[in-house]
Amino acid sequence: MIPIRANTRPDSRSSLQDADCKPFIEVANYIAGTAGAFIAPADADSPDTLSFPIDCYGQLCIPAISPDSLNPGQRKALEDLASSLARMFAAKKQSASNANTASLTAEAQEKLDKQRAFYENILNKLPTDIAVFDANHRYLFVNPGAISNEEYRKFIIGKDDYEYVAYRNRDINIAHARRAKFLETKNSGKEIRWEETFLDPSGHPLHHLRRMFPVYDENGQLSMVIGFGMEISDRKALEEKQARLVRQLSTQNTQLIDFCTIVSHNLRAPLVNISMLVDLLSTSRDPDEHLLLFSKLRPVLENLHSTFNELVESIQIRQNHEIKSEKLSVQDCLSRTKENLQAEMQRLDAEVESDLELAPVINFPPQYLKSILLNLVSNALKYHYPGRPPRIRVATKREKDKIILSVTDNGLGVDLVKHRDNFFKIGKVFHRHPDAKGFGLFMTKTQVEAMGGRIWAESEPQVGTTFHIEFVNQQNCLS
Amino acid sequence: MSSKAGFDAKEFTDGELAIDHLRAICDKPDLLPDIIFLDLSMPVMDGWEFLEEYSQLQDNLKKKISLFIVSSSISPEEVERSKNYAVVTDFLIKPLRAGKIEELLAAG
């Protein structure tokens, strides 16, 4: 017997018993004139068989027969049969393996789908918006947090912001801005963060913190850019509240320091002067000297009295959080101011002109606006340039939700380079005027600041002064 | 009362009036004062501005003058600030007693 070794391995013994083999076995028996042909695995090594190699599966075995009993025609026919058998098995194996692969893929696919659903579920449910871009800023993925409408969400895949903006008929600047951020990430190779504010459909501002970072493949090539944003309106509101509180505190602290300075200086000064004068009075025996010292007491006492009253009033203004603003006609207030100052205006041949058309109405506490106008206009009269009839101009204008009121005069002016820090302080006097007490501007400033506004001045000596007052929260006066 | 105490005093209501007067008499030793008492809080030109001007004028003064700041201020910053001016002899905090002035005059 000549064993003919198969050089291939069977990988499915069961398939050797397949019914498909039967016709081959019968043909083999017929050719060899025997009745026991079988197919053996490649590793079977039976001494009593004549084997023909079947590629892939093993050997076609003809038992109990010597090789010499087969003529070359029979041998050739059996070899051909074996190779046909091999081809059949090969074909079967291929289709089996295909089927195998197909079933494996289906299984893997199901698993992948589950995984994908799992991750997408997470991405879709996250309270953030997520967008993934390819290296050319085309969308690979967006979650419903980013685009809630499913149709739009499907549309955007494979497109860029310019196509999307055109599709949704939106402002192209949105696309410009997003492209700029994308390029910033792409070019820097780093994560970037920024804050964005836009209005929700009902017009409320929404604040978002956005982050974008590049992702690289194993070759260091940019494979995608991931962007996500989180709504931080609550945090933003808290931050703003804190910032407001800090501002408020620092203002109050400044006021407190000012107040201490006023008490330690402006109140102490007249007090020690009185005590010195009384001291001298008690030791002096000269009646003339008595009269002199006594005459010096009264103005000091008056000064102390006024300072004290101003202080009390300023504290009342600062603590009066209940005070109500009203829509006031600036023209009406100004007319009343002019009536109050009529005598002085006539004496000086003064004129007050007004330009109030841009903002004729101001929302402010009536007594404050009255006091502010009276102070500024009477200051302009008091510090007029000698021999020059006072020309006073009162004007208003809008700036967003604010109104600026300006009072300009052609009076003495003040060197603000020297006096900038002291201009609005209590008891500061810049001119030799008998009525100059240094209270007016301090009170005006207190009233303006109590309502959240600002006051500042421009001035040139011998030319004149302009005071500007900013009134805030004037939305309802702007229409 | 100053004349009774044996000396003569001139009073100015603000720094500018004082410095103008000093400029006018800076080369007349018999008209120049021995002592200047300077208030800090004054209209038009306050004590600090006066010190700036006076420091420049000092070289032209034909007399050695003592300058005392007399203030009701109790602010340590102001006392510190006054030390930047070599022309300032001392910083006196009000109230001042007559005895203190006599003491200074005796020393001068």
Closest Cα in chain A, distance from residue B76 (Å): 12
The predicted-structure confidence for A138-163, as pLDDT tens digits, reads as follows 999 898 888 888 899 999 999 999 99
Closest Cα in chain A, distance from residue B42 (Å): 7
Interface test with B, best of A257, A259, A265 (most B CBs within 10 A): A265
* Interface touch A427/B41, C-beta < 8 Å: yes
List chain A residues with CB under 8 Å of B1.
280, 284, 286, 289, 292
Whether B98 has its CB under 8 Å from any CB of chain A: the answer is yes
Nearest CA in chain B to A436: B43
Q: What is the pLDDT of residue A5?
A: 39
Distances (CA, A) of A223 to A71, A130, A219, A239, A389: 69, 16, 10, 37, 78
- What lies within 8 Å, CB to CB, of A339 at 6+ separation is none
Region A368-382 average pLDDT: 92
Q: What is the pLDDT of residue A10?
A: 42
* Interface touch A279/B95, C-beta < 8 Å: yes
* Interface touch A269/B43, C-beta < 8 Å: no
| ipTM of the prediction greater than 0.85, yes or no | no
Interface test with B, best of A288, A429, A433, A439 (most B CBs within 10 A): A429
* Interface touch A272/B95, C-beta < 8 Å: yes
Phi-psi region of A311 (alpha: psi -120 to 50; beta: other; left: phi over 0): alpha
pTM over 0.80: no
Among A272, A273, A431, beta carbon nearest to B43? A431
Q: Nearest CA to A88 among A55, A65, A119?
A: A55
More confident residue, B56 or A437: B56
List chain B residues with CB under 8 Å of A284.
1
The predicted-structure confidence for A19-58, as pLDDT tens digits, reads as follows 677 777 788 887 877 777 877 776 666 656 777 777 666 7
Nearest CA in chain A to B13: A432
Separation of alpha carbons A161 and A195, rounded Å: 19
Say yes or no to pLDDT of A73 above 90. Answer: no
Q: What is the pLDDT of residue A422?
A: 73
Q: What is the pLDDT of residue A431?
A: 74
Region A312-324 average pLDDT: 82
Interface test with A, best of B41, B77, B78, B102 (most A CBs within 10 A): B41
The predicted-structure confidence for A90-124, as pLDDT tens digits, reads as follows 777 777 677 767 666 778 888 888 888 888 888 88
Among B4, B43, B75, beta carbon nearest to A432? B43
Chain A residues touching chain B at CB-CB below 8 Å? 261, 264-265, 268-269, 271-273, 275-276, 279-280, 283-284, 286, 289, 292, 418, 427, 429-432, 436
- What lies within 8 Å, CB to CB, of A220 at 6+ separation is none
Whether B94 has its CB under 8 Å from any CB of chain A: the answer is yes
The predicted-structure confidence for A167-193, as pLDDT tens digits, reads as follows 999 889 989 999 999 999 999 999 999
Q: What is the pLDDT of residue A6?
A: 38
First to last CA, chain B: 19
Q: How many contacts, defined by CB atoms under 8 Å, are there between A and B?
A: 52
* Interface touch A427/B75, C-beta < 8 Å: no
Closest Cα in chain B, distance from residue A242 (Å): 32
Say yes or no to pLDDT of A63 above 80. Answer: no
Region A425-439 average pLDDT: 70
Bond before B95 cis per omega within 30 degrees: yes
Please state, rounded to an integer, the average pLDDT across all residues of chain B. Answer: 86
Separation of alpha carbons A470 and A240, rounded Å: 22
Say yes or no to pLDDT of A88 above 70. Answer: yes
Q: What is the pLDDT of residue A385?
A: 93
* Interface touch A418/B4, C-beta < 8 Å: no
Give the model's confidence band at A323: pLDDT under 50 very low, under 70 low, under 90 confident, else very high: confident
More confident residue, A474 or A127: A474
Whether B92 has its CB under 8 Å from any CB of chain A: the answer is no
Separation of alpha carbons A462 and A143, rounded Å: 69
pLDDT 10s digit of each residue in chain B, 108 long? Answer: 455 556 788 999 889 999 999 999 999 998 999 999 999 888 888 899 999 999 999 888 888 899 999 988 777 888 999 999 999 999 998 888 777 878 887 776
Whether B2 has its CB under 8 Å from any CB of chain A: the answer is no
Say yes or no to pLDDT of A442 above 50. Answer: yes
* Interface touch A280/B73, C-beta < 8 Å: no
Separation of alpha carbons B103 and B108, rounded Å: 9
Other beta carbons within 10 Å of A115: 10
* Interface touch B98/A269, C-beta < 8 Å: no
Closest Cα in chain A, distance from residue B93 (Å): 10
Closest Cα in chain A, distance from residue B41 (Å): 8
Nearest CA in chain A to B71: A269
Please state, rounded to an integer, the average pLDDT across all residues of chain A. Answer: 84
Residue the block writes with tokens 């005895």: B99
Give the model's confidence band at A9: pLDDT under 50 very low, under 70 low, under 90 confident, else very high: very low
% of chain B beyond a pLDDT of 70: 94
Give the model's confidence band at A7: pLDDT under 50 very low, under 70 low, under 90 confident, else very high: very low
List chain B residues with CB under 8 Å of A271.
72
Q: Nearest CA to A270 among A312, A300, A311, A294?
A: A300
User: What phi and psi values does residue A267 have, to the nearest 5 degrees?
Assistant: -90, -35
Separation of alpha carbons A389 and A392, rounded Å: 10
Other beta carbons within 10 Å of B58: 15
User: What phi and psi values does residue A394 have, to the nearest 5 degrees?
Assistant: -110, 125
Nearest CA in chain A to B49: A418
Q: What is the pLDDT of residue A429?
A: 72
What is the DSSP secondary structure assignment for residue A173, as one 8-state letter? Answer: H
Q: Nearest CA to A60 among A77, A81, A74?
A: A81
Q: Nearest CA to B51 among B64, B66, B67, B63?
A: B67
Helix or strand run (H / E) with residue B36: strand B35-38
Nearest CA in chain B to A429: B43
% of chain A beyond a pLDDT of 70: 89
User: What phi and psi values does residue A138 have, to the nearest 5 degrees?
Assistant: -95, 145
- What lies within 8 Å, CB to CB, of B42 at 6+ separation is B13, B14, B15, B50
Give the model's confidence band at A246: pLDDT under 50 very low, under 70 low, under 90 confident, else very high: very high
Q: Which of A123-127, A178-182, A244-248, A423-427 has the lowest mean pLDDT?
A: A423-427
Q: What is the pLDDT of residue A377?
A: 94
List chain A residues with CB under 8 Å of B14.
432
Say yes or no to pLDDT of A4 above 80. Answer: no
